[in-house]
A and B are shown apart, each in its own frame.
Chain A
Amino acid sequence: MMNALHSVLAAVGEGRIQGGWEYVKAAYAICWTGLALYAVSLWARRPREEPK
């Protein structure tokens, strides 16, 4: 009983969700790739002449 309580409290200290870096990596990869692609699209669409 005490052992079970101990392990639960220890898990809370480290975060109940163990690991999960694959979600973090996927999220940041999508974020950075999405922003980079949008930046490229803005560069490709840039006006050749400066607006007056």
Chain B
Amino acid sequence: MEMRMRRRLEIAAVLGTLGIFAYAAWTGLVWAPPDREMGDVQRIMYAHVPMVQMMLLSGTINFVCCVVYLFRASWKTDALAEASAETALVFGAIGTTLGAIWGRPTWGVYWAWDPRLTTVAILLVAYAGYMALRRFVDDPERRAVWSAVTGIIIAVDVPIIYFSVKWWKSLHQVQSTPRTVDPQMVYALRWNITAFFLVLIVFLVARYRIALAARLRETTVPEPAPGAQQVVA
């Protein structure tokens, strides 16, 4: 009964997230006005900005899990670190692709080695390496420690990405503030950030369960079958 109730709650949460996602997409694609300079192309912002923000949030969660794991080892922390690294990679790869598409009509190029773009590219390659490392190390404990150290090193890039547009004034614009943006655009952006945040939570929970189940499978010693003889070396 409790299991069925939990399942219903999960389905309701996913449906609610999809509903908010659909409303947020409508506000960005239809309801919000076009930009004075960029026209309708600016509507890419309502997906690009939240996606990159979720990448940075996932990277921050990964960093916290890596630090916590080194001080207090737990398979749950390791599983959440694995989950957040993968979501950082997924949201970052899609978000960067959207940025490249936005760059073509506004900058004239899909890609430029601008500090913001370069630091994001480094982060994506680093998380791809992190996920590869987790696949190549068989011993769960050694894998968890090595990936925790790697995760902490990668996280150095997260604040650099955020501040890169302020430190090196280059092609990528600095973050806008609600004071300089049309209130309708702020409303649409906030709904989209909320929607993508909820999607991230759903993905994180699902990926965490996959990782935790794999860890428990790896570390649980199977019970001997009834009647099986124990071999003593």
Footprint of B on A, CB under 8 Å? 12-21, 23-24, 26-28, 30-31, 34-35, 38-39, 42-43, 45-47, 49, 51-52
Contacts of B105 in A (CB 8 A): 17, 20, 23
In the complex, the answer to whether A51 meets B102 with C-beta atoms within 8 Å is no
Do A18 and B39 form a contact, CB below 8 Å, given A30-B97, A30-B101? yes
Main secondary structure of the interface of B (DSSP, over half): helix
Q: Which residues of the partner chain B approach A52 to less than 8 Å between Cβ atoms?
A: 216
Give chain B's interface residue range (CB within 8 Å of chain A).
35 or more
CB closest chain-B residue, reference A45: B210
* Most chain B CB within a 10 A radius of its CB, from A19, A23, A31, A42: A31
In the bound complex, residues from chain A placing their C-beta under 8 Å from that of B93 are: 34
B36 within 8 Å of A by Cβ? yes
Report chain B residues within 8 Å CB of A12: 36-37
A15: contacting residue among B37, B90, B101, B203, CB under 8 A: B37
Chain B residues in 8 Å Cβ range of A43: 206
Q: Is the CB of A17 within 8 A of B39?
A: yes
Alpha-carbon distance A13/B37, docked complex (angstroms): 8
| A20-B40, A21-B40, A51-B216 known; A42+B210 contact, CB < 8 A | yes
- A49 contact set on B, CB distance < 8 A: 213
Given A27-B47, A42-B207, does the pair A13, B213 have CB atoms closer than 8 Å?
A: no
Closest to A33 in B: B94
* CB-based nearest B residue for A48: B213
Residue of A nearest to B43 (CB): A24
Across the two chains, which residue of chain A brings its CB closest to B199? A35
Distance in angstroms between the alpha carbons of A6 and B199 in the assembled complex: 46
Known: A30-B98, A39-B203, A46-B206. A17 touches B41 (CB 8 A): yes
In the complex the two chains form, what is the Cα distance from A42 to B44 in whole Å?
26
Q: List, in ascending order, chain B residues with CB within 8 A of A16's CB.
A: 37-39
Cβ contacts under 8 Å, A17 to chain B: 37-39, 41, 105-106
Cα(A52)–Cα(B213), bound, Å: 9
Indicate if the CB atoms of A15 and B40 lie closer than 8 Å: yes
Residues of B79-109 whose CB lies within 8 A of A: 90, 93-94, 97-98, 101-102, 104-106
